[in-house]
Structure 1
Amino acid sequence: MDYFQIISEDRIKKAYDDGEFENLPGFGKPLPPDDLAGIPDELRMAYRILKNGGYTEEAKTLRQEMVSLESMIAQCTDDSERASMQKKLNQKLLRYNSLMAKRGAKTNSSVFKNYGEKVLRKLT
């Protein structure tokens, strides 16, 4: 046995003897369903790492919508329509930032602006 494994086993036995595992929240209840249960075992860890890093489907969709809104704002000529799209963009940016803040990730909205500029340069 590994030395660290022996230490951890001893600490678990001591905690059990001291009653630290009694009255835990959720004791006797089934575990919540795994949201990645439908993903094959060999891919599940990779998906979990991506999810913990902030690369969720919702975050991906929000990033795509923000890029397309910025593109439409750049091409828009009507001021009232531009203001409406800017309001939508701000709402999506706030939602995205709150998603990233929950995961402790820092966001940088200029990344999307740089991406949009690069795409426009490639296309023109």
Structure 2
Amino acid sequence: MDILMYLAEEKILEAQKNGVFDNLPGKGQKIIPEDLSMLPEELRAGYIILKNAGVLPEELQLKKELLTLQNLIDCCYDDEERKVLKKTYNEKILRFNLLLERRKKQNSPVVKAYLNKIYGRFK
């Protein structure tokens, strides 16, 4: 065991003795394993780090913004504000479609099904 592994193990054991791990969020709950088979193995660690940090891929962020804008448009009674919201919505739709075209994701039925599943989680 090299020195860094030894130091890390010592810190973990010390933290356990001090009760640092006793009241962590999610304690006692099931851990649901993620299916990361759609990602190349070399990208999985980065994906998990970004996901835990709350960073979404650009297309998902745009889709989330589109859903929010659509809800605002549906609830808006002021015509001028509605026009501004619709313009913003259309710009984001265009950007979203260009992004998908650039990444050539819309051609694959498997990817379409996957994206629809993810988009469904934001509704």
With structure 1 as the length reference, what TM-score do the two structures score? Answer: 0.43
**Rg larger in 1 or in 2?**
1
Q: TM-score, normalised by structure 2?
A: 0.43
